[in-house]
Each structure stands twice: as C-alpha cells, then as structure tokens.
Amino acid sequence: MSKNQTKHIPPIFVGESKIHGKGLFASRDIKKGELIGEFKCTPAKKDGPHVLWIEEDLGYKVLDDFKYINHNNKANAAYYDDFTVMSIRKIKKGDEITHYYGEDWGD
C-alpha cells in the first residue's frame, strides 16, 4: 500500500438482529453502489453455518463479521464473487445490512 492509499475500514458493526440471532449493521450512512467491504473466506465442500454458495458447486465459508449478513427479500447489499459486499441501495446508519439468499429462504 502506498503512502497515498488508506486502508478501507468497513462501515459495519455486529449487533442483535430482529431477523435472526446476530446481524451486521451500518455504522454510518452508506450510499447506493458503495463498497461496504471485502470478506475473508475459505473454500467449503459442504453446506453449513456461514457458507456462501457462489454457484451450485462453489461454496465459501465466510470467516469474518460479514458472516452475520442475514437474508431479506428486500436486501440492501449483495455479495459478489470477487468477495466484496456492495450496497445496492442507500443504507442508513444503524440499519441492518441484508442480502437476498434466494427463493429457498423465507422472511
């Protein structure tokens, strides 16, 4: 990292979720299309807690606080296959950050 670059600090914190157990929340307002952060992960061969499936046969166990992103049909963020999480609409400070996990998940 050069002198002019600063490390991206994700604007997030973990708290109690009304959706499920723990959740990930915005520590400040987040603009639509903003990078929230990059998650750490390891390849997974089996499903389990905090395993994100990029494709049917390609899963990753999320190892950091991004594992607390809960499902919502009206999600405000998305995981991408480059291991980034981006906002897909404006997220207000204190709002829970959510992702649409697919039709098999209910609200």
Residues 6+ apart with CB under 8 A from 86: 33, 34, 35, 36, 77, 78, 80
Residue range 27-66, pLDDT digits in tens: 999 999 999 999 999 999 999 899 988 778 889 999 999 9
Q: Tell the CATH superfamily of the 12-99 domain.
A: SET domain (2.170.270.10)
Residue 67: strand, helix, or coil: helix
How much is the pTM? 0.87
Tokens describing residue 69: 């992103």
